[in-house]
A and B are shown apart, each in its own frame.
Chain A
């Protein structure tokens, strides 16, 4: 994969999608399907989480199998702050961002000593540690998780209203993706992509590879934490299942499905997976069969993910 360049066409598509998403609550109300606003918020939150994973996985080339730990850390951070009476959404978001980022810094500093499969496994182990700690810490709700009393307001805007919350999530997702786009085109983004392509060569050129990988890992963890905080607010619960390894797996699946290393891969994957789930549930109680078969089909016939199907073939010569 070459260095990331966002084409005008893709930017135009993104802007069009953004406009469409802005109109979504209005369309849902008009169709009398207000429930879908809440569902859409959920999809966008997962889109943010998956995009943050894509930052480490697709751009940094680090296959992290423990991303759910940061997702969950953000959720619990939001729940604990809500319990402590913090009533300002930006504060909660910032705290979740910071806490998850710090956790990722710590886990990354230890895990990035290993490579390849061992890295996959050690990130998994740390996430499992976080999972069991959260479940067994007294006062953290055990298997039931921590409920949130309500959603903190955003500068006087009441986010308890699902539409207002939806717009807040959409704004955060758009801002994060914009930041990722800047990052991918900045010097830092080029360096982490260079490391993905050939770590030894980057080291030989004089780049302190470990520091770059760790920064990327921590940054991605922070954004996952933000997504976790949003999900806790959305559902009114910080659940331990957010830290379970199946959650890490689901996020990985979203990224692979949407397209590894493509800026909108995480978004595309989250939308596809969650919408497919929603549709299949309507059709059959055994919807997991359909989902499983669909994933297998993607692996066998669309190795670059769904985004790869749409990408124009780029000739080299």
Chain B
């Protein structure tokens, strides 16, 4: 990779005072967050706290109204979604968002092919894709990694919910991101599927920095190196899992909701 090395002290993702409102309603109100390279950073918060809005704002699906977002030492707040993705900022979707009518393998090859820094541009009008065997091989390897190797030929829309969640992750991984925004990977999963997803995320954590939004607290405290708590559009606490567990404000604002 040919990234410009950021100073060692600066975090991989630096979110500062980000605001986003819809009409008069503030979904984000000065959210500040730092994700260090290599960590699994969990983002928790009650329903309506603005977690998904934050993910949208980070990935570029929405533009922030205020604040700045730095990724790998570059300001990305004004960049389009595809530019951020090309820089290595990938995301998965909370509501499964795969290519339902394409085969599982085609889904992943499209993701791998997107990596122009390794494969060059896709503005190729003549040369058959079939000759790009390396892309297909990598896609197959990726499917093995997420446990979908045997289903490569299936139509993605025909997979079970849990399998589609795994494919969702595989798509995001195909771009070889430096930071992966995982938006509720366990959403709608049964206990068995969840356990498998936790294992998958644990394995992922060794290769890529993760910002994980999740409701399943067992999973969060098992996986996360650090946790940030988003309430009412701002981050009220950020720290090690034990610190968060002990934080009085968090208990009041957040855990109080569940009790």
Judge A-B direct contact (beta carbons within 8 Å).
yes
**B61 interface residue per 8 A CB criterion:** yes
Closest to B91 in A: A204
Whether A197 contacts B102 by the Cβ 8 Å rule is: yes
Residues in A with CB closer than 8 Å to B154 are: 316-317
Whether A186 contacts B61 by the Cβ 8 Å rule is: no
Cβ-defined partner of B99 (8 Å) among A194, A209, A317:
A194
Q: B133-191: which have CB < 8 Å to A?
A: 154-155, 158, 171, 174-175
How long is the Cα–Cα vector from A190 to B115 in the complex, in angstroms? Answer: 14
Min distance, Cβ B69 to any Cβ of chain A, angstroms: 16
Residues in A with CB closer than 8 Å to B80 are: 203, 208
**A133 interface residue per 8 A CB criterion:** no
**A205 interface residue per 8 A CB criterion:** yes
Whether A185 contacts B82 by the Cβ 8 Å rule is: no
How long is the Cα–Cα vector from A185 to B126 in the complex, in angstroms? Answer: 8
Whether A316 contacts B122 by the Cβ 8 Å rule is: no
Cβ-defined partner of A215 (8 Å) among B85, B123, B126, B174:
B123
A201 and B123 in contact, given A185-B129, A187-B113, A187-B129 (Cβ under 8 angstroms): no
Min distance, Cβ B136 to any Cβ of chain A, angstroms: 12
Most-contacted residue by chain B among A188, A190, A205, A206 (CB, 10 A): A206
Residues in B with CB closer than 8 Å to A3 are: 102-103, 106
**B209 interface residue per 8 A CB criterion:** no
**A2 interface residue per 8 A CB criterion:** yes
Whether B122 contacts A191 by the Cβ 8 Å rule is: yes
**B124 interface residue per 8 A CB criterion:** yes
**B98 interface residue per 8 A CB criterion:** yes
Whether A201 contacts B171 by the Cβ 8 Å rule is: yes
Closest to B168 in A: A201
Whether A187 contacts B106 by the Cβ 8 Å rule is: no
Give the size range of B's interface with the partner.
Answer: 35 or more
Min distance, Cβ B230 to any Cβ of chain A, angstroms: 22
Residues in B with CB closer than 8 Å to A136 are: none
Closest to A315 in B: B155
How long is the Cα–Cα vector from A65 to B241 in the complex, in angstroms? Answer: 57
Closest to A185 in B: B128
Closest to A205 in B: B114
Most-contacted residue by chain B among A3, A202, A205, A316 (CB, 10 A): A205
**A149 interface residue per 8 A CB criterion:** no
Cβ-defined partner of B130 (8 Å) among A183, A185, A202:
A185
A188 and B122 in contact, given A203-B82, A204-B59, A205-B111 (Cβ under 8 angstroms): yes
Whether B127 contacts A186 by the Cβ 8 Å rule is: yes
Number of contacting residues on A, CB 8 A?
29
* Inter-chain contact total with CB atoms closer than 8 Å: 112
Residues in B with CB closer than 8 Å to A182 are: 125-126, 128
**A118 interface residue per 8 A CB criterion:** no
Per-residue A-contact encoding for B223-255, CB less than 8 Å = 1, 0 else: 000000000000000000000000000000000
Min distance, Cβ B102 to any Cβ of chain A, angstroms: 6
How long is the Cα–Cα vector from A189 to B129 in the complex, in angstroms? Answer: 9
Whether B101 contacts A2 by the Cβ 8 Å rule is: yes
Cβ-defined partner of A186 (8 Å) among B85, B128, B174:
B128
**B110 interface residue per 8 A CB criterion:** yes
How long is the Cα–Cα vector from A274 to B100 in the complex, in angstroms? Answer: 36
Q: A161-202: which have CB < 8 Å to B?
A: 182-183, 185-191, 194, 197-198, 200-202
Per-residue A-contact encoding for B79-91, CB less than 8 Å = 1, 0 else: 0111101100011
**B97 interface residue per 8 A CB criterion:** yes
Q: A251-273: which have CB < 8 Å to B?
A: none
Per-residue B-contact encoding for A201-233, CB less than 8 Å = 1, 0 else: 111111111001001000000000000000000
**A30 interface residue per 8 A CB criterion:** no
How long is the Cα–Cα vector from A197 to B101 in the complex, in angstroms? Answer: 7
Closest 6 CB pairs of A and B: A206-B85, A187-B122, A205-B114, A206-B86, A187-B124, A316-B155
> With A191-B122, A197-B102, A205-B171 given, can you name 10 additional A-B contacts, CB distance below 8 Å?
A1-B101, A186-B126, A187-B113, A187-B129, A200-B97, A202-B114, A205-B111, A206-B83, A206-B114, A317-B155
27 A–B contacts from the bound complex (CB under 8 Å): A3-B102, A183-B126, A185-B128, A185-B130, A186-B125, A187-B129, A188-B123, A188-B125, A190-B109, A190-B110, A191-B110, A200-B61, A200-B97, A201-B98, A204-B61, A204-B91, A204-B97, A205-B90, A205-B174, A206-B82, A206-B116, A207-B114, A208-B82, A208-B83, A212-B122, A316-B155, A317-B154
